[in-house]
A and B are shown apart, each in its own frame.
Chain A
Amino acid sequence: MSILAPPASGHALLHQVLEGDAVLVRFHFSDGDRPYFETYQVLGPDDARPFQTGRINALGEVSFRPNRPGRWKVIVATEDGHGAEARIDVDPGSLAVADPGGAGLAQAARLSAGVGYLLGAFGIVALWRLQRARRSRG
């Protein structure tokens, strides 16, 4: 019987190398620097408990292998209060992903757009005031 029993491996930590698709998210600050080795957590769709936690790698990247479709979140927090929440939509039946909040414009373009929106908003207030003054004058 002892010859037929499987080897006792209760204390051995074994491993197996797998091939598979993973989601790879790269983080960077607006000045191009990356949050190397900062902590992150990956949350599955509607999960309160993290699916994965760890530290960002030396390339500023987080990779994980989602096991179900839905909106996944990768939350990064630095000690000085900076951070980001990347939302990644994983399609059913495949690992095709879409980032609904991803970066589309360069930082300079975003700043220019922001200034434009600000000035435009105050312009609208000025026009509204002008219109109101005209109405009150009759």
Chain B
Amino acid sequence: MHIPDGLISPQTYLPALVLAVPLWWWAGRRFTAAVGDEALPRLAVFTALAFLLSSLMLPLPGGTSGHAIGVALLALVFGPWVAFLAYTLVLVLQALVTGAGGITALPVNALVLGFVGAWAAWLLFHSLRRVQPAFAVLAAVFVSVLLSALLVALVLGLQPWIARAPDGSPRFFPFDWSVTLPAIVLPHVFIGLGEAVLTLLVWRHACRRRWASVACEREA
């Protein structure tokens, strides 16, 4: 679901950069307090897991393919600010090493996948965990994936309206919302379900090992 370079306009990624920089700065300030020396190796492994989850393409019904995101797991175990920062590192490496995403698209991807994905998962989990923790994890991850997919579809579908060549043709991404919304959101229903189940399994393991945040320890 990463937006690659060349598909979004400067009218999109420059404001996103202006918004993302202070958020990265604030997340960096929170990082030292939130992640102690003991938790740092675990964060490294969880970030590597998110990197792999969001890099491996899986076949989906309908002949298309997609990949998980992985930021919700980071958010549930380490909190949304740490997840946002760690996932930005994932996005940077994917842009530089695996060719997924891109450098100009990094602020948009970081905000949509890293920031919104992490905060949606964390907020929903904390809203629902008193009802049933496992259900809260499943719902949080599913909604987080779908919300990120919806935002990616909206950002891409906006491009034909805001960036046109002199002859009126789309300068960057050519499809509008009538195409992007079903093409991106519907496959992520399956991805969200799969990622929710996988996240629940890893989250339970993290709880048993007392690796995760205070909220998780209470429910373990």
Contacts and interface: CB of A to CB of B under 8 A. Distances in A.
A122 B47 contact: yes
B41 A83 contact: no
A101 B157 CA distance: 27
Interface in B116-172: 152-153, 156, 165-167, 169, 171-172
A101 to B, nearest CB: 8
Contact of A80 (B102, B166, B171, B183): B183
A63 interface: no
Q: Which of A33, A83, A129 lies at the interface centre, i.e. has the most chain B CB atoms within 10 A of its CB?
A: A83
B48 interface: yes
Interface residues of B, number: 49
Contacts of A77: 7, 173-175
Contact of B3 (A81, A114, A119): A81
A118 B48 CA distance: 6
B64 to A, nearest CB: 6
Nearest to B65: A31
A122 B65 contact: no
A121 interface: yes
B21 interface: no
Interface string B50-62: 0110011101000
B110 to A, nearest CB: 16
Given A79-B179, A79-B183, A84-B4, A114 B93 contact: yes
Contacts of B52: 111, 115
Interface in B83-122: 89-90, 93-94, 97-100, 102
Interface string A122-133: 110110011000
A64 interface: no
Contact of B97 (A73, A81, A113): A113
Given A30-B98, A107-B98, A122-B43, A115 B5 contact: no
Contact of A29 (B6, B65, B165): B65
The 9 closest A-B pairs by CB, nearest first: A85-B6, A122-B44, A79-B183, A80-B183, A114-B97, A31-B57, A75-B6, A110-B98, A114-B93
Given A31-B59, A39-B174, A122-B40, 4 more contacts: A30-B99, A31-B57, A114-B93, A114-B94
14 contacts: A73-B6, A80-B66, A80-B187, A81-B153, A81-B173, A83-B173, A84-B99, A85-B5, A101-B99, A111-B52, A111-B56, A114-B94, A122-B40, A129-B37
Interface of B: 1, 3-7, 37, 40-41, 43-45, 47-48, 51-52, 55-57, 59, 64-66, 89-90, 93-94, 97-100, 102, 152-153, 156, 165-167, 169, 171-175, 179-180, 183-184, 187
